[in-house]
Amino acid sequence: MKLDEIARLAGVSRTTASYVINGKAKQYRVSDKTVEKVMAVVREHNYHPNAVAAGLRAGRTRSIGLVIPDLENTSYTRIANYLERQARQRGYQLLIACSEDQPDNEMRCIEHLLQRQVDAIIVSTSLPPEHPFYQRWANDPFPIVALDRALDREHFTSVVGADQDDAEMLAAELRTFPGETVLISRRAAGAVGELPA
């Protein structure tokens, strides 16, 4: 079912249906009666907006990719949990991939996340800093942040170990993402400190 059909069944314009479904009804002064009509059709037909299409139209998907080497390592799962919670609170989704600490897996994970049009990538890389894979983004505004294992420090932000300055640098870097993305605060230093040296 498409938005046009929801609007037709509710007896409203496509624009009005869009305002209601996207939570902007009050902002555009859509009456409560109209909101209820639209939402009744949405519930009846179990309608869910196509997030991918909306992301493509908006130029961002409100998703961030995280590539970690080991899902069983509690340090990485703590960080993933923290990042997911911070992302969710800001309306983002964290997509987590595991490289199993294998360079080929990592490169496939990164390519897959890019195909999903993520807005940024955070990676604990298994590649050496001089490996050419990440160099194609060296002068690109697309945000790639290295976590626990450094990438080329001339072109990428790298947060390694329990260094408070590095955690603050990551927070500052994330604040430069397009839109209103801010994922990590000073509390990140505690989580980053859990990583093995």
CB-CB contact of 145 with 151 (8 Å)? no
Here the tokens at position 124 are 């604990």
The reply to whether 197 falls in a domain is no
Which residues span the domain enclosing 21? 3-49
Q: Give me the pLDDT at residue 148, please.
A: 84
| Residue 38 and residue 68 in one domain | no
Residue in 103, 87, 68 with CA at minimum distance from that of residue 192: 68
What mean pLDDT, rounded, does the chain reach?
82
Q: What is the structure's pLDDT at 43? A: 95
Let me know how long the chain is. 197
Examine the domain organization and report whether 115 and 171 are in the same domain. Answer: yes
Write the CATH number for 155: 3.40.50.2300
Is residue 72 classed exposed, middle or buried when 0-12, 13-18 and 19+ CB atoms within 10 A define those classes? exposed
Residue 44 has pLDDT above 70, yes or no: yes
Q: How confident is the model at residue 188 (pLDDT cuts 50, 70, 90)?
A: very low
Same domain, 26 and 74: no
What pLDDT is attached to residue 191? 37
The answer as to whether 137 is a domain residue is yes
At 115-151, the pLDDT tens digits run: 988 999 999 999 987 789 998 888 888 899 988 888 8
Q: Are residues 126 and 93 in the same domain?
A: yes
* Predicted pLDDT at 155: 79
Tell which of 13, 30, 49 closes a domain. 49
Looking at residue 179, its pLDDT comes to: 40
